[in-house]
Amino acid sequence: MSKSILLARVQGIFIFIIALAILFQQLFNSSSPMPAIILYGCITMVLLLFPTIKRSTLIISMIMLVLGHILFFYYHLDFDVWKSAVSINLGLISLFSFVPMLIMPISAGGYLYSIEMELKRLHSKPTSVFLLLSFLTFLLGSVVNLAIIRVLYPLFKKTSLSPERLGKAMYTGFISTNVWSPYFASVAIILHFMELPYTTLGPFILTLAIIHFVFGNIVVLFILKKDKNLELPEEMVLQFERMNDQRKNMIQLIIIMSGIFILLFILEKATGQKMTVLVSIMGLLGSMIWLLFLKEGMKLKEHLSTYIIFSLPKIANELSLFISAGFFGIVVMSTPVNLLINSFINTIAGKVSLIFLIGILILLPVSLAFIGVHQIVSVTLLATSISPETIGLSTLAYGVLLAAAWCHSSGASPFSPLNLTLGSVLNKSSFNVGIGSNYLFFIGTLLITISFVYFIR
């Protein structure tokens, strides 16, 4: 066994054990502080992941950890603050570890093959292919995150769509789903800091996401209709008449995915449990139940082993970034720096109208993300430093604002995982596949978001 395989195996097993321990702690003893063994286990895990973390991510993570500790010691903060700062985002470890497990039944169930067969039928209808790719990215990406881009791209690159159009479709679908999905860290962090249940915030961010999706797939297509490769057919929606077995399989996938989200709504309302916990459980147990439904029980161990060894180590960058950013955010919140940020925002609020303030608060994380400051830092600071009522917004409206700010930051930044992944599969720069090619979508959805937040304020 090579050293790289051995390291991946150790990393994967360690992540899985830590994620499981955190999930059990949140599920059965959430009111108690995170046990020391889990805290130190997480620190060990991050150190173990260092060899496989991207250099840029490692530098950003180290800067946040070092600055956080400088502030911690300079202001003589209590050790309880340090423990709180380390543990604040640990729930995301379970989220990142277990949610992508749902890709196992999606792959094993033949759903990807059904998509491939549907593409062959739509080969001569480029707009329908565009819409299908965008819809599948929106639907499946809401659960399996960025992995869906690497899963769908090999299927769709065989079609008549140019790489630029493939990028636009995946960009539109993923940015839209980034706004609302409870499987995403963006929504999870906002639910946590704003102390909002998903059943309250969810309908609003889902509505905004659908508006984004419609804008990206219909309005932008009409703007670009002069492109000969994107001539609009008379019917822009996929028809399911005369369904064959492959189409039935695709509809089964849509029904199952919709059922999962409805079940999460019901469980949150019935149990009062945090959505991050429910989503993690759904990823862990839901994927196994789904595999059993597909009669893949005999291969369950094989699926799980492959996932732990080859998939879990790939989340090293996200784990490092979110743990370090959470640490930095909580330390800053516990120092006078927090008051300076609050005072600065309140000063601006007193000088501009509310609708302009909404735009400023969204563009602040976007601007920082564009130069490499991950939105988890800026959004965490905005969530913890500002009282929504003092700037004329309800907690709900402010939660929608922060979710949208995260979404737009991810779409604008050439350093975001989305644009880096798109750039990698399309063999183009992350700037060109991001805001460079999608500035119409970005500007339009930004204006929509500002208006939406102002309307529900």
Q: How many percent of the chain have pLDDT more than 70?
A: 92
Taking the C-alpha atoms of residue 50 and residue 35, their distance in angstroms, rounded to an integer, is 23
Res 231 pLDDT > 70: no
Tell which residue, 269, 280, 287, 263, has the closest CA to residue 27: 280
Higher pLDDT, 175 or 333: 175
Token representation of residue 287: 């994927």
Distance of CA 359 to the CA centre of its chain: 22
Local confidence band at 3 (pLDDT 50, 70, 90 cut-offs): low
Report the pLDDT averaged over residues 123-145: 81
Tell which residue, 188, 221, 171, 180, has the closest CA to residue 414: 171
Extents of the domains making up the chain = 101-298
Tell me the angle at which helices 417-426 and 147-156 cross, rounded to the nearest 10 degrees.
20
| Sign (positive or negative) of CA dihedral 206, 212, 213, 219 | positive
Which H or E run contains 197?
A: none
Report the pLDDT averaged over residues 184-211: 86
Tell me the angle at which helices 395-412 and 185-194 cross, rounded to the nearest 10 degrees.
150
pTM (2 decimals)?
A: 0.80
Tell which residue, 237, 236, 221, 167, has the closest CA to residue 444: 221
> What is residue 242's predicted lDDT score, i.e. its pLDDT?
42
Taking the C-alpha atoms of residue 457 and residue 454, their distance in angstroms, rounded to an integer, is 5
Token representation of residue 158: 């065989």
Local confidence band at 449 (pLDDT 50, 70, 90 cut-offs): very high
Taking the C-alpha atoms of residue 417 and residue 430, their distance in angstroms, rounded to an integer, is 9
Report the pLDDT averaged over residues 208-229: 76
Token representation of residue 337: 């720096």
Taking the C-alpha atoms of residue 410 and residue 184, their distance in angstroms, rounded to an integer, is 12
Local confidence band at 401 (pLDDT 50, 70, 90 cut-offs): very high
